[in-house]
Structure 1
Amino acid sequence: MTRDWLTVHEGSGPLVIGLPHTGTEIPDVLMARFRSPWLARKDADWWVDRLYDFAVDLGATLVRTAVSRSVIDVNRDPSGVSLYPGMTTTGLCPVETFDGEPLYRAGEAPDAAEIAERRATWFDPYHAQLKAQIDRLRARGPVVLYDAHSIRSVVPRLFAGELPQFNIGDNDGTTCAPELTQAVEAACAISGSSLIVNGRFKGGWTTRHYGRPHLGVHAIQMELADRGYMGDPASPLSPDNWPSPYEPERAEAMRRNLHRVLTACIAFAESQT
């Protein structure tokens, strides 16, 4: 199913993959209000939909929004409550980039009424489809929801130093069975790359909202440091060096790693029946 900005590929396996931040589309009516198109797209999870395109061959279901997270972030709590209290983060309709740059021209940021409208237009339909796919597969047995993300390796405003390559989040063991987290961690460890569980990224709203392991829905988030499939940019960032291009040869090793990860997710779900 494709609806302009929302794409759903229905698979038969017990795995749903959410792609909430790969979109770069911005409605024309909003574009002039942003300080620049580049800033409005800067924090996309670049190329992640391409990185995981092999998942359809595993029988996975994919749900993707093409709308930029700067318009609305479908992985944030719609109530506005921070997912990481006391830490820098962005909101449902961000007003600044990860680096703290204002996104909107003076006086052009959305007010509460507009945020509610954007939620009804994009957030609610995305999650309606995500829920529908989870429910469809849950009727057959346990299901894994895998929320796929990436971010630059170095973002000083959000975290210190260089981010590990694999950042696995289950919100401190609450969104999935420990066996799933252990299986994903073991699959990542084979790569020899750095990894962490419940570090800076413990899982966003999607993982926390849907993860109900006692009901057979196991949700886990994977935040990749994007150096695994593209070049990290030199500082400072500019339209000339960001986003870096997708590098197929570099990405191939990452895709093999992620194939192991998704296969482990499917094997876990099937073992629960």
Structure 2
Amino acid sequence: MDNVLSFRRGHTPLLISMPHPGILLTPAVEAGLVEAALERPDTDWHIPLLYDFAAGMGVGTLEACYSRYVIDLNRPEDDAPLYASATTGLYPATLFDGEPLYRAGMEPSAEERARYLEEIWRPYHQTLAAELARLKAEFGYALLFDAHSIRSSVPRLFDGLLPDFNLGTNSGASCAEALAQRLRSVCAGAADYSHVLNGRFKGGHITRHYGQPDQHIHAVQLELSQCTYMEEQLPYDYREDLAEPTQVVLRQLLQAMLDWGRERYGR
């Protein structure tokens, strides 16, 4: 498959992973989706644009181009559940609101889905693993920031309104506690925004699998409420007036990771 991912190498120990901004569909998926799903409502809209300042910081980026409706890159390949509460799987069957994703009998075949695993999921994870290994070889450590966003209200997934900044470290297992607290302090200093550490979103497969602080690879997920930078309803417009102050905090988070890494590892 063409246009599976977009990868830009940086010159710092930090890599941003963006597994869910893609909107491309395969013919088999597009043919079977219900009408509401064709609008891709569960996309992490505009995430590459929101983080476009990262290049100037020397931070690398890895961006998925296919929709999570084809295959979810933040789920393990064996589709083991990550949460005890409502969630979606490697091959999503429902929208976030719980409605069916496909018209009856129109799901892609097992053969199609096996191809998505080989040609979309594996290249993303191979690129991610190789770049983290390269960073660790060059710097002695690697930092991974898994960038996500979601509507501020999804009653099936969480009660009430989601905090603006939702940091996840797999309950402390995916990065050093000192780094997690450094990032939490950044969010606490952003008076106009709410935040939580390891709340509803503790980190998906990418954070849990690649975060190995004992091996000097530290991973953090940020689930950002979409009301902080865009319109949450169709046509999902990017809001520069909202995004600019949010980018200030995002830049501070990335800089805090870089500063912590230099202090901890001396480079």
- Please report the TM-score for the alignment, with normalisation by the length of structure 2: 0.94
SS class of match (1:11): coil
Residue 191 of structure 1: CA displacement? 1.2
Q: 2:215 aligns to what?
A: 215
Residue 32 of structure 1: CA displacement? 1.3
Q: 1:254 aligns to what?
A: 246
Residues 77-96 of structure 1: matches in 2 within 5 Å?
A: 77-85=76-84, 87-96=85-94
Q: 1:107 aligns with which of 105, 108, 116?
A: 105
Query: Residue 32 of structure 2 contacts residue 108 of structure 2 at CA under 8 Å; is this kept in 1?
Result: no
**2-side partners of 1:139 and 1:245: how far apart?**
40
SS class of match (2:258): helix
Q: 2:61 aligns to what?
A: 62
**1-side partners of 2:109 and 2:16: how far apart?**
31
**2-side partners of 1:160 and 1:51: how far apart?**
26
Uncovered stretches (5+) of structure 2, i.e. residues with no partner: none
Aligned amino acid, residue 15 of structure 1: L
Query: Residue 165 of structure 2 contacts residue 222 of structure 2 at CA under 8 Å; is this kept in 1?
Result: yes
Query: Residue 30 of structure 2 contacts residue 38 of structure 2 at CA under 8 Å; is this kept in 1?
Result: no
Residue 82 of structure 1: CA displacement? 0.6
Percent sequence identity over aligned pairs: 43
**1-side partners of 2:128 and 2:235: how far apart?**
28
Q: 1:148 aligns to what?
A: 147
Q: 2:17 aligns to what?
A: 18
Residue 267 of structure 1: CA displacement? 1.0
Residue 38 of structure 1: CA displacement? 4.2
**Over residues 231-273 of structure 1, what are the superposed CA-to-partner deviations in whole Å (9 max), with x where a residue is unaligned?**
344xxxxxxxx24210111100000010000000111122222
C-alpha change, 1:114 and 1:38, in structure 2 (3 Å) is closer
SS class of match (2:214): helix
**2-side partners of 1:272 and 1:14: how far apart?**
12
**Over residues 126-183 of structure 1, what are the superposed CA-to-partner deviations in whole Å (9 max), with x where a residue is unaligned?**
0000111111111122111000000000000000000000100001100000011111
Q: 1:224 aligns to what?
A: 224
**2-side partners of 1:90 and 1:8: how far apart?**
26
Uncovered stretches (5+) of structure 1, i.e. residues with no partner: 234-241
**1-side partners of 2:38 and 2:100: how far apart?**
9
Query: Residue 14 of structure 1 contacts residue 270 of structure 1 at CA under 8 Å; is this kept in 2?
Result: no
Aligned amino acid, residue 116 of structure 1: A
**2-side partners of 1:40 and 1:143: how far apart?**
36
**2-side partners of 1:232 and 1:30: how far apart?**
24
Residue 37 of structure 1: CA displacement? 6.8
Residues 77-226 of structure 1: matches in 2 within 5 Å?
A: 77-85=76-84, 87-140=85-138, 141-192=140-191, 193-226=193-226
- Please report the TM-score for the alignment, with normalisation by the length of structure 1: 0.92
Aligned CA RMSD, in angstroms, stands at: 1.4
**2-side partners of 1:111 and 1:180: how far apart?**
43
